[in-house]
Chains A and B, each alone.
Chain A
Amino acid sequence: MTIDHEGKRKQLKVIQFDKDRNTLIEKTEPSETFADVGGLEEVKKKIQMNFILPLKNPEFFKAYGKEAGGSLLLYGPPGCGKTFLAKAIAGEINASFIHMELQAILSMYIGESEHNLHDVFEAARENKPCVLFIDELDAIGGNRQNMRQHHERMLVNQLLLELDGLDAHNHGIYVIGATNTPWYLDSALRRPGRFNQLLFISPPAVEEREVILKLKLKDKPQNALNHKKIASKTAHFSGADLEQLVGDAIESALQRSLEMGELQPLTNNDLSEALSRRKPTTLEWFSTAKNYATFSDVNKDYQQVLEYLKENKIR
């Protein structure tokens, strides 16, 4: 993690919908920026070029006929840092951050979910500039085939209505969607002006895994851990997978400590043993994504996935 020059961070205003209280709650968190996101260089470059620089220098882009802003759709296996990246974008452009989760928006009562969705967009309008991050977009905007019931369709329509307002009332609102299953998205959501920029967020590369491991193991009692070696053995692991791996290793060190009656440091052996019991969860995602990319990719949206599979020898 890097800290800015004055030694303190800017604060990020984070707004979330609280289902129990049926209202929006606000809190502040230390702001993240791209410098905090390990790896993903290509993705960051693309976001800089297509999303952030047009916001910072609108006159240059306008001169070449390119519009500023728009909306982004991040996709990839679960647990690979889509939320973190979205937060970093908010940090980069110094905007508030609204984290909208499907489970919080969905109401048991018909009509109320659309109302909740509208409230979230209204909150974004009141907190400009604002990054509105819509997590699990596929569940809200699932394709019509899976959406025979009228009330589910209404939620998609409401989302389209709010998104189409982006030009008129939503200046200064930057919508970022995230999904593990972009192929389930309603095609209406993919039209120009909506989520037409697709970005693949891959699992961390070996150097990133090393950074993540160091971060997760920091401040834990340990005995000369070889982060590099563990990182090299955890190909295709997501950030979340690594967290679970560390959790497993800590558990066995803790158990040993309880048995011995004194604090036992975490060893390479604990991590290796935990590793033998865990498999990367991303592979299942890749096997599905490969099928969509090979057989169903009419618009060539998922070519990045095929390239990644080839480069990383995933079959």
Chain B
Amino acid sequence: MNEEAQYAQFIRIEQLYEWERLQEAIKETENYIQQYPEDADGYAVLSKVYLKQGDHKKALHWSLESLKKDPENEIAWEFRVSTLYTAGKYKETMTAIQEALTLFPDDAFYYFLKGNIYNKNGEYEEAKESFLIALKLEPSNAFYLASYSYVESILGNQEIALQAEKQALQLDSESSTVFLYVAWAADQRGDYAQALSYLENAVRLEPNNQQLRVEYLEILQKQFKVYQWLLVPSRMLNKVKPAMVFLIWLVAWMLFKPLVVVFIILYVAAHWITKMIVNVKVFGRLFVKV
């Protein structure tokens, strides 16, 4: 009976979390911890709720408290790593991932996050390897497939990217994150119409997500042919490491100064004009804070 009540309370916390009633979820979890102070899951779930609330400091604190009770608590590790990742502390995330992987070597999630960090650092081959390991462990995970599709698209392997994109959407066509990743893949190969269709779905599913709104408006801008042409260089430079990009710009500046100036002026003008047209179409006015 006691176990049943404990389980029911745990389920209730999960329910409140799903409904995004986070304050109530926090209160309920605190009650749970008071009743079952030795259960490391309680502290770990509190970390999870605080992460959703965007309070990274508290999320990290409670994940540590959970790990003090049980150094191998799966939930605590997951949310410790997720918090560090969300907070943008990629170096610390990598260290935490290595530690987590010694305990849970078959947990695909950590390879997925590793891949994302490599992606952000422009280390695409390493990212691809990480996504492939994640997919070996969980072949039917739509998130992993969509991320893999994106990185293959950057690396120029469009056929493989398209295949992974299709599979990802077959597995989950109700996730805004999956739509976002496959939109990036489509954007990368210059298929702006497809990217728009994916982002339309993404923003419809989660219109309150600022990143999705911004990316949706950007892809609307990219539907203009003039803007598309001006984006060709930047799309090509996407595949190159940041230091190399800087070098290419420097050389171009020294060799073709007037051309570079004309390009920059055209680019800025096209960017702002298309942005204003999109703003008027979507919001009915020229300048908008999204």
Show the binding face of A for B, using Cβ within 8 Å: 108-109, 138-139, 142, 144-149, 152, 183, 288, 291-292, 294-296, 298, 315
Contacts and interface: CB of A to CB of B under 8 A. Distances in A.
B15 A152 contact: yes
A144 B18 CA distance: 11
24 contacts: A108-B5, A108-B8, A108-B12, A109-B8, A139-B21, A144-B174, A145-B174, A145-B205, A146-B18, A146-B19, A147-B18, A149-B15, A183-B207, A292-B207, A292-B208, A294-B207, A294-B282, A295-B203, A295-B207, A295-B213, A296-B204, A296-B205, A296-B207, A315-B289
Contacts of A288: 208
Q: How many interface residues does chain B have, given as a range?
A: 20 to 34
A185 to B, nearest CB: 12
- Is chain B's binding surface mostly helix, strand, loop or mixed? helix
A198 to B, nearest CB: 17
Contacts of A298: 204
B284 to A, nearest CB: 8
Nearest to B5: A108
Nearest to A142: B19
Interface in B248-290: 282-283, 289
Contacts of B205: 145, 296
Contacts of A139: 19, 21
B209 to A, nearest CB: 9
Nearest to A183: B207
A83 B203 CA distance: 32
A298 B207 CA distance: 12
A227 to B, nearest CB: 33
B9 interface: yes
B216 to A, nearest CB: 7
Contacts of A142: 18-19
- Is chain A's binding surface mostly helix, strand, loop or mixed? helix
B204 A108 contact: no
Contacts of B208: 288, 291-292
Given A147-B18, A149-B15, A315-B289, 10 more contacts: A108-B5, A108-B9, A142-B19, A145-B205, A149-B14, A152-B15, A183-B207, A288-B208, A292-B207, A295-B213
Contact of B203 (A108, A138, A296, A315): A296
Contacts of A152: 15
Interface string B12-27: 1011001101000000
Contact of B204 (A149, A295, A315): A295
A130 B213 CA distance: 43
A144 B174 CA distance: 10
Q: Which 6 residue pairs across A and B have the least CB separation, nearest first? A: A295-B207, A291-B207, A108-B8, A296-B207, A295-B203, A296-B204
B122 to A, nearest CB: 31
A99 B32 CA distance: 30
Contact of B216 (A146, A183, A295): A295
Interface in B167-219: 174, 203-205, 207-208, 213, 216
Nearest to B204: A296
Contacts of A146: 18-19
Given A145-B205, A296-B203, A296-B207, A291 B19 contact: no
Interface string B132-167: 000000000000000000000000000000000000
A296 B207 CA distance: 6
A292 B18 CA distance: 19
Contacts of B18: 142, 146-148
A109 B14 CA distance: 15
Contacts of B5: 108
A294 B18 CA distance: 24
A310 to B, nearest CB: 8
Nearest to B174: A145
Nearest to B200: A295
Contacts of B8: 108-109
Contacts of B203: 295-296
A294 B216 CA distance: 12
Nearest to B14: A149
Given A145-B174, A146-B18, A294 B283 contact: yes
Interface string B207-250: 11000010010000000000000000000000000000000000
B196 to A, nearest CB: 13
